[in-house]
């Protein structure tokens, strides 16, 4: 009976493994955001975008992603105002087009 009580329950291992996995994911997200901030400081849009995508892939919180996306947009606007304005227009058009498709409205582009 004494030895049985010293043996960890299998669920304890699973819980510990999940906690370790979550801790590793959180660390990867934190490092990706740190990389992104550094790269923004270096005016490296491509590198910062890759770091942003890594954070998203690792499961970063939506509010953190929204804040990071705003920082990226600000950098793009600073470095290429016309290009960023064009990107935003194209994104707005695509959103409008997608909304019209969802509503079943067929129109001209």
- How high is the pLDDT of residue 42? 96
Q: What is the pLDDT of residue 14?
A: 75
At residue 100, does pLDDT exceed 50? yes
pLDDT tens readout for residues 25-55: 999 999 999 999 999 999 999 999 999 999 9
In a domain, 6, yes or no: no
Residues 40, 34: Cα–Cα separation, whole Å: 10
d(CA 33, CA 82): 26
Is 8 inside any structural domain? no
Q: What is the pLDDT of residue 2?
A: 46
Q: Does 12 fall in a domain?
A: no
Residue 59 has pLDDT above 70, yes or no: yes
Q: How far is CA 14 from CA 3, 5, 6, 20, 50, in A?
A: 21, 18, 17, 10, 32
* Number of compact structural domains in the chain: 1
H helices of the chain, where?
2-6, 10-41, 45-57, 62-79, 81-103
Position 9 confidence tier, pLDDT thresholds 50, 70, 90: low
pLDDT score at 21 = 82
CB 76 within 8 A of CB 83: yes
Determine, yes or no, domain membership for 4: no
At 104, is the secondary structure helix, strand, or coil?
Answer: coil
In-domain check, residue 66: yes
């Amino acid at each position: 009976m004494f030895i049985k009580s010293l043996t960890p329950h299998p669920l304890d291992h699973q819980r510990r493994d999940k906690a370790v996995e979550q801790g590793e994911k959180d660390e990867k997200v934190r490092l990706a955001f740190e990389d992104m901030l550094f790269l923004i400081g270096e005016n490296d849009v491509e590198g910062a975008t890759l770091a942003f995508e890594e954070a998203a892939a690792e499961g970063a919180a939506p509010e953190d992603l929204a804040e990071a996306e705003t920082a990226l947009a600000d950098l793009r606007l600073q470095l290429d105002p016309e290009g960023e304005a064009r990107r935003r227009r194209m994104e707005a058009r695509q959103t409008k087009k997608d909304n019209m498709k969802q509503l079943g409205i067929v129109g001209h582009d």
